[in-house]
Amino acid sequence: MNQFFEFVINHWILWSLFVVAIIVILYEELRGRIQGVARVQPAELVKLINREEATVIDVRDSNAFLKGHIIGAINIPHTQMDNSLEKLKKYQDKTIVLVCASGQTSPQEGAKLKAKGFEKVYFLSGGMAAWTQAQMPLTKD
C-alpha cells in the first residue's frame, strides 16, 4: 500500500489525469441514463433502422446536415425542436434516434421528447463523428 501512495505522490499529474478521465467517462455514461435516453452505437443504430424502422432525427444545423447525413434522416435543428413537437407527434409511438455532431446535444433533446410522452427515444453515442469513424454511409440528398 505504501508503494501505491508513493506512486500517487511522485506521479500526481498522471494520477490527476486518470481521475479526471474516470470522472468524464462516468459523467457521460450516467448523463444519458439520468435523462432517460438510451445511447446506441452506430452498428446498433443500423439494426434499429432495419428491424424497427427507426426514425433518425438529425439535430445539427441545416448546413451540417447538407454536408452529409444518415440516409433517411430528418433534419430538425436542436434550436427548432421545441417548435417542431407537433410535427414529431406522428413518430410518438415509433423508435426515434437523435443524432447530433458529437453526442452532446442529442441526449438533452431526447430528454425533452421523453418528457412530452415519446417512449422509444435513443441517441447516437458520439454523434456523427462516431458514425463517420465507423465508416457508415452518408448521403447529401
The neighbour count for residue 10, using CB atoms within 10 Å, is: 10
Q: Does 3 map to a domain?
A: yes
Instruction: Supply the range of the domain harboring residue 62.
Output: 36-133
- Number of structural domains (the chain) is 2
Whether residues 52 and 85 fall in one domain: yes
Strands (E), 66-109: 74-75, 96-99
CA–CA separation, 74 and 21 (whole Å): 34
HSE at residue 106, side-chain half, CA atoms within 13 A, is 29
Q: Report residue 82's pLDDT band, with 50, 70 and 90 as the boundaries.
A: confident
Q: Stretch 67-89: mean pLDDT, rounded? A: 92
Q: Is 100 left (phi over 0), alpha (psi -120 to 50) or beta?
A: beta
Task: Please check whether residues 54 and 29 belong to one and the same domain.
Answer: no
Query: What are the pLDDT digits (tens) for 6-42?
Result: 888 898 999 899 999 999 878 776 665 656 688 899 9
Bridge partners of residue 74, in order along the sequence: 57
Name the DSSP class of 58.
E
